[in-house]
Amino acid sequence: MPFDYHDPETVVDPKSLISNVRVLYDDGEKGFSLCKLSCEGVEHMAMRWNVARRDMMMPRNRQVK
């Protein structure tokens, strides 16, 4: 089942805290991303899965037979 890919360049949540996102590695829709970012003005390294947990846990098609 294909998942919705979430481009790491567009993920800046919570918006009031996160800025200057610089993606260093993006493994695509079946992988993870590494980036440098600022959180409350302090630079950090961050890792995230490119697929939301809700997409992995909930099937897209619920066929009733």
Domain boundaries, the chain: 8-57
pLDDT in tens, the chain (65 residues): 556 777 777 776 777 888 898 999 998 877 889 999 998 999 999 988 777 666 655 555 554 44
Three-state secondary structure of the chain = CCCCCCCHHHCCCCCCCEEEEEEEEECCCCCEEEEEEEECCEEEEEEEECCCHHHHHCCCCCCCC
CB 49 within 8 A of CB 1: no
The whole-angstrom separation of Cα 19 and Cα 36 is 10
Answer whether 0.75 is exceeded by the pTM: no
